[in-house]
Amino acid sequence: MKQKLPFILEIIWLLVMIVGLLAAIHKTMDYGFTESILLYVIAGIAGLMYIGRRYMRKIQEKNQAPK
């Protein structure tokens, strides 16, 4: 379970990014860009968190590999 947790967190951030981006696009189409800036910021932050978690997981897997 301990090895699966980083992967699960990575997937959660990816889902948050996708849902946030879809919500931002939908709100932009209905109300305009100025009303949906916050949703784009949330999607961007979630994207950065996804990239960071993926990078950390890859490093951790590389360090645990038998040499």
**What's the pLDDT at 32?**
93
Per-10-residue mean pLDDT, the chain, length 67: 81 96 96 94 96 91 78
Residues whose CB is less than 8 angstroms from the CB of residue 24 and which lie 6 or more positions away in sequence, other chains included: 36, 39, 40, 42, 43
Residue numbers of the domain that contains 52: 32-61
Domain assignment present for 40: yes
**What's the pLDDT at 60?**
86
Domain assignment present for 27: no
Q: What is the pTM of this model?
A: 0.84
Domain assignment present for 52: yes
Instruction: Count the domains in the chain.
Output: 1
